[in-house]
Amino acid sequence: MAMQTTANAAPTRSGQRPLTRRALLTAGAAGLAGLAAGAAGCGSPVERGLLGTGSQPNSLVYWNLFSGGDGENMTKMVNNYSAAHPDVSVQATVLSWGTPYYTKLALATAGSSPPDVAVTHLSRLSTLAGNDLLQGFSADQLAKAGMPAGNFTPAAMQKSTVDGTIYAIPLDTHPFVMFYNVDVCREAGLLGADGKLKPIKGPEQLQAAFAAAKKVTGQYGAVVAVTNDPSTNWRWFATLYYQLGGQVMSADGPDVKLTLDNAKAEQALGFMRQLTASGLMPGTVDGAGVTSLFSTGKAGFLLDGEWQIPTYANTDLKFDVVPVPHVFGPKPVAFADSHALVLPRNSAMDDAKRALALGFVKFLLEDSLVWAAGGHIPAWLPVQRSKAFTSLTPQSNYVQAALTAEYDPPGWFSGAGSQFENVVGAAVASCQNGSASPAQAVQAIRSGLQPYLDAPAPGT
Amino acid sequence: MATATIIDDGSASGSPRSATIGETSTKSGADERRAGWWFSAPFLVLYLAFLVGPAIYGVVMSFSNATTLRPGLGSAAGWANYREVFASSEFWNSMGHTLWFTVLTTPPLVILAFVFAILADRLRHGRGLARFIFFAPYVLPVTSVTLIFTFLYAGEIGLIPTIFTVLGLEPPNLLGETSWAFISVAVLTVWWTIGFNFVVFLAGLQEVPRDVYEAAAVDGAKPGRTLWSVVLPLLRPTIVLVVMLQILASLQVFNQMYLMTGGGPGTSTRPVMEFIYDSGFSDARAGFAAAATMVYFFAVLVISVIWYLLRRPARKGAGG
């Protein structure tokens, strides 16, 4: 077959070969140019990415990392914006959660073609801001755009501020919370006259509640993801450790110091291990197993992020959500993170475009009752304090958690989905499943973080 | 047929053809060569732009403090990244994990594939069906395969732990304990990719002329003897190829590890590819990750060269 083609081609070669080739090349070039022109005209995200053309004056490019229930709610909010602003076209792009998202956001910004508005976790903010990837605002500037700093949950606003400059506009607080199965807890006598969980305080009461639930379910009192889920391990540990007043790291710009308190960490880990060792909680369950155990009533309590509410909302399960009980320490503390909106640094952005982008952000804040359906507590106080939200259950039960929220520690390798969470979470998991003692787990945290403490921070 | 071509590197078929062209006319030979370059140009452009170029850039990057958080290469780092890689216990641990995974997967993937191919080759009827059954998992995307096996392995709710519980045994922590996690992922990998080696072996077996079997039978050789003295030597190039491809594939493990265990518990199953990914992307240390890549590349290169030298006698034997 191949030979035959060559033979046929040979005679033509001596004749008009150069002309034909040139004509062909010209035609090809013209075709490509036409394609490019056409692409620039339509401006789909792919074509814009390939050809590097910026966004149009009356359009906004918006990146986020939401899928599932959150993704649906965010799409609804963007659609609401588009309906209210028919003259503005919003190109919303969803990228996959965690490292892939942050890599793309950083590279796009470093490569001078960032989105106009993007979502970030506040726990990731210091790295982005420290590397000059975000536009900073003064409180006055934001107030002029209709978003005074006093209108946000204080803990979230504080986390949005780096060295006096506001780099992010918080959208929500999403704490680590405690779910409970209403039927199981009623049978276990844990509900008050109002049908709500009676307050639980201190380690003994929590253990007693789990034990009572275990008697009803016949399997487990409570459940938390241990296997293959370092972030959840970290969140559960951080809740208890922060309640004890512990701190993991402190940072001064790129310089990170380990400030782990061995005694407090061992106390928190010891309590967690006690819960799994006594059989009140399983020690080797993964995320899917957690969903299965809690949704089928084989565990009375679930420790997880409130973003799991949509997972159980569509089942027959009757459940409610409260902040993680105040187990240790003088004051209640909840572990949380926040989603926030940022404007990546962009020399091509003029004031008109900036105003448009901030207007979009403000619209999302005002529309964040939609967002609250995903379990999150709106950071925008006018919504958080509105009648519509305070009557929304179970979300309004754990507003307290947003006010007492503490985040991932500062540091360039810390934040949502970071290596910090992986290292610490893995050590916590090894303690929960019994393969390491609390003291060994603390040692594993120290030795696991050491290479990061020794390494130069990126961009220095 | 396909295997034979790869093994011979075209040396047998390529040289006589070019000799004929050289005899007929030197001018058309030059034309031919020039045309050859033109025909290769689209490939060469892409090859240079997307393989050679980035590879060179990666070498340069490995001597810098480049980060994915800032444009450009950043400040020069000299040999600091390499010193850190060589001193990093995490890096060498991850190299060890990759090597251990290769040791766990290569023998079963070669031996089992060979055994299954021998058995399938003996089938009178339904050989196509057997081929399909063995090859089918290979077609599945890695996400589906890991999802299936996660359902099998998961603690508390998975099928395998449930079977253990029903039998009254303490179920092993298949994904949450290091030694089991390696075995769990290795089993998945064998089930998933054995089809490829199987098909290559089957093709090799079908290349063995039937009259060789007949001659062996006439000489009174038992099946075992035929296999050992006739089939195996004839299949040697195929075996060499499958072992080489399998070692290289296992050394590149990333997807199934990343999806099943995330390198966990902790970093105790993290393959070197994930170490590089974590350093370069999660930690944004592109320069350091590039240096780790170069060390890893060098290690794979050394293994490939050693294997190439080892198989040279085999090639001479096959060719002679």
Q: Taking CB atoms and an 8 Å cutoff, what residues of chain A touch B90?
A: 451
Question: Mutate which of A227, A276, A460 to disrupt the B interface (most B C-beta within 10 Å)?
Answer: A227
Nearest residue in A to B88, CA atom: A451
Q: Do B266 and A100 touch (CB under 8 A)?
A: no
Q: Is residue A216 part of a domain?
A: yes
Q: Do B283 and A413 touch (CB under 8 A)?
A: yes
Question: Does one domain contain both A373 and A354?
Answer: yes
Q: Which value does ipTM take for this structure?
A: 0.74
What's residue A18's pLDDT?
Answer: 44
Task: Give the gap in angstroms from C-alpha B269 to the nearest C-alpha of chain A.
Answer: 12
Q: Is residue B47 part of a domain?
A: no
Give chain A's domain count: 2
Q: Is residue B254 part of a domain?
A: yes
Q: Taking CB atoms and an 8 Å cutoff, what residues of chain A touch B29?
A: none
What DSSP designation does A132 have? T
Give chain B's domain count: 1
Domain that includes residue B217, residue range: 88-319
What's residue B266's pLDDT?
Answer: 77
Q: Is residue B38 part of a domain?
A: no
Put simply, whether A38 touches B (Cβ < 8 Å) is no
Residues of chain B with pLDDT under 50: 1-23, 317-320
Please count the residue pairs, one from chain A and one from chain B, whose beta carbons lie less than 8 angstroms apart. Answer: 128
Put simply, whether B207 touches A (Cβ < 8 Å) is no
Put simply, whether A226 touches B (Cβ < 8 Å) is yes
Question: Mutate which of A286, A302, A420, A446 to disrupt the B interface (most B C-beta within 10 Å)?
Answer: A286
Q: Do A433 and B74 touch (CB under 8 A)?
A: no
Cβ count within 10 A of residue B82: 17
Question: Does one domain contain both A201 and A318?
Answer: yes
What's residue B319's pLDDT?
Answer: 42
Put simply, whether B173 touches A (Cβ < 8 Å) is yes
Put simply, whether A293 touches B (Cβ < 8 Å) is yes
Question: Does one domain contain both A189 and A315?
Answer: yes
Domain that includes residue A160, residue range: 50-170+339-378
Task: Give the gap in angstroms from C-alpha A109 to the nearest C-alpha of chain B.
Answer: 8
Q: Is residue B65 part of a domain?
A: no
Put simply, whether B172 touches A (Cβ < 8 Å) is no
Q: Do B69 and A127 touch (CB under 8 A)?
A: yes
How does pLDDT run across B216-249, given as a tens digit for each residue?
888 888 888 888 888 888 898 899 889 989 999 9
Q: Is residue B18 part of a domain?
A: no
Q: Which one, of A144, A138, A115, lies nearest residue A355 by Cα? A: A144
Question: Does one domain contain both A149 and A291?
Answer: no
Q: Do A285 and B156 touch (CB under 8 A)?
A: yes
Put simply, whether B162 touches A (Cβ < 8 Å) is no
Question: Does one domain contain both A122 and A137?
Answer: yes
How does pLDDT run across A104-150, given as a tens digit for each residue?
999 899 888 899 999 999 999 988 998 889 999 999 999 999 999 99
Mean pLDDT by 10 residues, chain A (460 residues): 38 43 56 48 53 69 92 95 94 90 90 93 91 93 95 95 94 96 96 94 96 96 94 96 95 89 97 96 91 94 94 91 95 95 93 94 96 95 96 92 93 90 94 95 95 86
- The partner residue sitting opposite A433, judged by closest CB among B88, B90, B176, is B176
Question: Does one domain contain both A303 and A358?
Answer: no
Task: Give the gap in angstroms from C-alpha B265 to the nearest C-alpha of chain A.
Answer: 6
- The partner residue sitting opposite B261, judged by closest CB among A132, A228, A444, is A228
Q: Is residue B46 part of a domain?
A: no
Question: Does one domain contain both A306 and A419?
Answer: yes
Q: Do A458 and B155 touch (CB under 8 A)?
A: no
Q: Taking CB atoms and an 8 Å cutoff, what residues of chain A touch B173?
A: 227, 284, 433
Tokens for A214? 């275990």
Task: Give the gap in angstroms from C-alpha A127 to the nearest C-alpha of chain B.
Answer: 9
Q: Is residue B151 part of a domain?
A: yes
Question: Does one domain contain both A159 and A264?
Answer: no
Nearest residue in A to B74, CA atom: A459
Phi-psi bin for A163: left (phi > 0), alpha (psi -120 to 50), beta?
A: left
Put simply, whether B265 touches A (Cβ < 8 Å) is yes
CATH code: domain of residue A216: 3.40.190.10
CATH code: domain of residue B290: 1.10.3720.10
Put simply, whether B90 touches A (Cβ < 8 Å) is yes
Task: Give the gap in angstroms from C-alpha B316 to the nearest C-alpha of chain A.
Answer: 30
Nearest residue in B to A17, CA atom: B35
Q: Is residue B32 part of a domain?
A: no
Q: Is residue A396 part of a domain?
A: no
Question: Does one domain contain both A187 and A299?
Answer: yes
